[in-house]
Amino acid sequence: MEAAFRIEPMKLVEIKRVLETEQIRLTKSLGQNFLHDKNQLQRIADAAELSESDSVLEIGPGLGSLTEFLLEKGSRVLAVEKDERLFEFLQRKYAGHPRLDLVHADAVDYLRNRAKDWSGWKCASNLPYSAASPILVELSQNAQCPRRIVATLQAEVAQRIKADHGGRDFGILTLLVQANFQPNKFFRIPPSCFFPPPKVDSTCIVLDRRTPAMIPPGDIETFGRVVKQCFSQRRKMMLKLLKADWNPEWIDQIYRNLKLDPRIRAEAVSLDQFARITQELNFYSRKTL
């Protein structure tokens, strides 16, 4: 019965034809660039390592190019599309499909305002360039985050996600994502594989949930607050920035415990050290209650 729903992946000529027929003009503000290269789409679906028992979240399905490869794996797919025109096209294209649920919503709002347990899920998406970072932060900072995230995004953003402390790419995004996820495989996707071809390079990155978690669920909120405060003024010594928000005596003691140089700046502090700072701040906070 499900064979009736098999749809061949769209070729570039078909993408152009559908956009013209449906009178869909791509919106630059939404970062819409459709991946059409069959080999790259297959690599992304394979990287998710999906099985028939998996549920997978796809954000920004567009015309359904990747959706088709995800469905071929036998998984159940929840696709969230912001563009109403594309959502309506997908509704017609996949009408009645037993393993596809379509949601018309802004992905950041959907993830932020919907209390859902994603811990048994995977995510595989060609993320809209304009919203890739906030989407990844929402997924990563969720106490019940997915087991694996496979995301195509700007190469520059991927570089920031997998950066290590001490480099210029290391920052808020790095820490908020790496708090719960370990960056693993990644591969480049040339601009020619997209329509329209983006003016930037793209990278598909694979993120696996840390087990055990580096930041306990109860510490996630404090961790995010610490990281954002410490990077609010990158050129300033982290000590002064922390003392502006927390008890200076606590901060001095934490620096002694961790043997941190009082002159150190945020980009030189490792993920593990940020986790320790968070843990100790929460310890002192609980003691005063």
Average pLDDT taken over every residue of the chain:
93
Say what the pTM is. 0.93
Region 30-54: mean pLDDT is 92
State the pLDDT confidence band at 94, using cuts at 50, 70 and 90. very high
In a domain, 45, yes or no: yes
Tokens (6 digits) for 76: 């159940």
State the pLDDT confidence band at 7, using cuts at 50, 70 and 90. low
Same domain for 136 and 253, yes or no, is no
Same domain for 63 and 162, yes or no, is yes
Distance between CA atoms of residues 95 and 270, nearest Å: 49
Parallel, antiparallel, or unpaired: how do β-strands 76-81 and 55-59 relate? parallel
Same domain for 256 and 179, yes or no, is no
Question: What is the domain-level CATH number for residue 282?
Answer: 1.10.8.100
- Does residue 288 surpass a pLDDT of 80? no
Same domain for 179 and 236, yes or no, is no
Region 94-106: mean pLDDT is 95
In a domain, 124, yes or no: yes
State the pLDDT confidence band at 2, using cuts at 50, 70 and 90. low
Distance between CA atoms of residues 276 and 289, nearest Å: 20
- Does residue 56 surpass a pLDDT of 90? yes
Last residue of a domain, one of 175, 209, 243: 209
Same domain for 175 and 95, yes or no, is yes
The residue segments making up the domain with residue 257 are 229-287
Same domain for 256 and 163, yes or no, is no
State the pLDDT confidence band at 153, using cuts at 50, 70 and 90. very high
Strand partners, 59: 80
Question: What is the domain-level CATH number for residue 112?
Answer: 3.40.50.150
pLDDT digit string, tens, across residues 110-143: 999 887 899 999 999 999 988 999 999 999 999 8
Amino acid at 169: D
| Structural domain count of the chain | 2
Distance between CA atoms of residues 260 and 255, nearest Å: 5
